[in-house]
Amino acid sequence: MATTRPIRSTMMPVHLSLNHLLDRAGQLFASNEIVSRLPDKSLRRHNYGAFYARTRKLGQALLDLGLQPGDRVATLCWNHHAHLECYFGIPAAGGVMHTLNLRLAPDEIAWIANDAKDRFLVVDDVLLPLLAQFQGQCGFEKIIVFPFSSAPVAAPFLNYETLLDQADGNKFAYVAHHEDDAVSMCYTSGTTGKPKGVVYSHRSTVLHTLVGCLGDCWGLRGADVVMPVTPMFHANSWGMPYGAVMTGCKLVFPGPHLHPDDLLDLMQLEPPTLSLGVPTIWMSLIQTYEASLHTQPGRWKLPAGMRSLVGGAAVPEALIRAFDKHGIWIQQGWGMTETSPLATVSYTKSEFIHADADERYRRAAMAGVPVPLVDIRMRGDDGTDAPWDGQAVGEIQVRGPFITGSYHEVPVSEDKFSADGWLRTGDVASMDAHGFVRITDRTKDLIKSGGEWISSVDLENALMGHADVAEAAVIAIPDPKWSERPLACVVAKPGKTLDFAALNAHLLANGFAKWQLPERYEGIATVPRTSTGKFYKLKLREMFPA
């Protein structure tokens, strides 16, 4: 009897590569526009054809400087066209782009650069004063300055534009690589310890880009005008720059101008169809816009029909409703540096197409459903998975081809990875029968009162739904009887006075039990934030220790 041989795929063994996305942009989208707002607020315009040529020149310039495969090239830059060139030019030359978070303390930036062993640095000229505060602590061999002004770049610094002018882009050849070779790295926020490096590959980045561009995720199209407010040093701006290059959509970079007035001004000049940023950015923007309707009517218009991707922290339902009144839909996603970062997205599944408005808002305020290629589970303290009933909670654990399986030069530990290889996120959530994830809290931010858990996130979102509240952050404070109780730190909207009794009544009306109400309130001028715009609860605990 003949032996049946397994059938083999006939597909070409082509490795996934960012270089394909770069070539695609240069070949198919050469005339599509890229706009950057410069420090003086002027706009620089060029296109994907220029981007393609300049990026190849950057790759050749780095090779001329002696870049070797796997060398780390750090960037200390705002969101603009040259930073986009680094996203593709550094890996095209075989290097690894390492985005440095310019909002960190100088000593912390130095620690991260040294831990990554960054060899070269690309820095904006407007950030040279920041660099001066930590340059002596680092071992950068070459520092390349991107010049926004006409002032000369003094030695020993190198002028980015001069390097590109001198490089022969025609002789540039992509450095040979494998799809699992590194292309970029980002460091975690490090709010509970030293930051850790997460290294992304050609393969993981291309797959993340493909998933992100799907209709139920970013829904990115070539006709879109994308404004990435999320910093390009924060989880690679959620991967959106790669998606924009792949689709050839118009990019509008805000540069260093992230104040609500500046963003609204830019939206008048270059109306986006898609924007992305953390909730605090959009809270400030909608408050500024709505105040202007009374103080400066007609100054601004919000882009009709714009979609806004919001992540980095839980999005209050009140914020979604506020934007929807003006024809802008906020789409929430959840993820982290370790997940590239897109892991879940909230969208209208088919079974909710005809749901009423309240249900639509309720779903939009959830973290959403897992994106394709990402597996997710809620693991309880007893080691079993929480049922998908929308009530039982557990730690979110994930795995997938763009989920990190380790940290840069850090031993794999049980507190970060399960015994069977899943990433332990530290976020606590429930999942319902439709696959929607609802983030309950970070494990370190849950409040255990009298043996029962209270979600600080739920309290915050409800408080921010009150008409007088601009922002609210809730932390645990020690209690001799109940172990812990909630403390609500609240920021009033301009011209409003906080009535804490009214806030408690508002919480009770929104389904909270009396024992879940804050033990006390503190009115504060602003909620402290981390370098990525999240509420910095460690600082609040220092401000209100008991």
The alpha-helical segments, DSSP class H, found in 270-407 are: 279-295, 317-324, 357-364
Which residues are 304's β-sheet partners? Answer: none
Active site residue 481: no
Active site residue 448: yes
The alpha-helical segments, DSSP class H, found in 128-239 are: 128-132, 160-166, 202-212
Give the active site residue among 194, 301, 448, 496. Answer: 448
Class of domain 259-442: alpha beta
Active site residue 453: yes
Class of domain 18-192+222-226: alpha beta
Q: Higher-confidence residue: 533 or 529? A: 529
Domain 447-543 is classified in which CATH homologous superfamily? ANL, C-terminal domain (3.30.300.30)
Q: What is the pTM of this model?
A: 0.87
The strand ranges marked E within 164-244 are 182-187, 197-201, 225-228
Give the active site residue among 270, 317, 338, 460. Answer: 338
Q: Strand 375-379 to strand 447-449: parallel, antiparallel, or no bridges (unpaired)? A: unpaired
- Asked if 385 and 379 count as a contact pair (C-beta separation under 8 A), the reply is yes
Active site residue 338: yes
For the chain, what percent of residues have pLDDT higher than 90?
82
Give the active site residue among 75, 99, 188, 425. Answer: 188
- Asked if 246 and 88 count as a contact pair (C-beta separation under 8 A), the reply is no
DSSP per-residue codes, 106-134: HHHHHHHHHHHTEEEEEEEGGGHHHHHTT
pLDDT tens-digit map of 113-140? 999 999 999 999 999 999 999 999 999 9
pLDDT tens-digit map of 217-264? 999 999 999 999 999 999 999 999 999 999 999 999 999 999 999 999
Q: Please report, for the chain, the start and end positions of each structural domain, with discontinuous segments joined by +.
A: 18-192+222-226, 259-442, 447-543
- The DSSP letter of residue 426 is E
**Do the domains 18-192+222-226 and 447-543 sit in the same CATH topology, yes or no?**
no
- 215, 12, 38: which is closest to 124 by C-alpha? 38
Give the active site residue among 329, 388, 453, 482. Answer: 453
**Strand, helix or coil for residue 268:** helix
For the chain, what percent of residues have pLDDT higher than 70?
98
Q: Which residue has the tokens 């409703």?
A: 321
- Asked if 500 and 467 count as a contact pair (C-beta separation under 8 A), the reply is no
Residue 2's pLDDT band, with cuts at 50, 70 and 90, is low
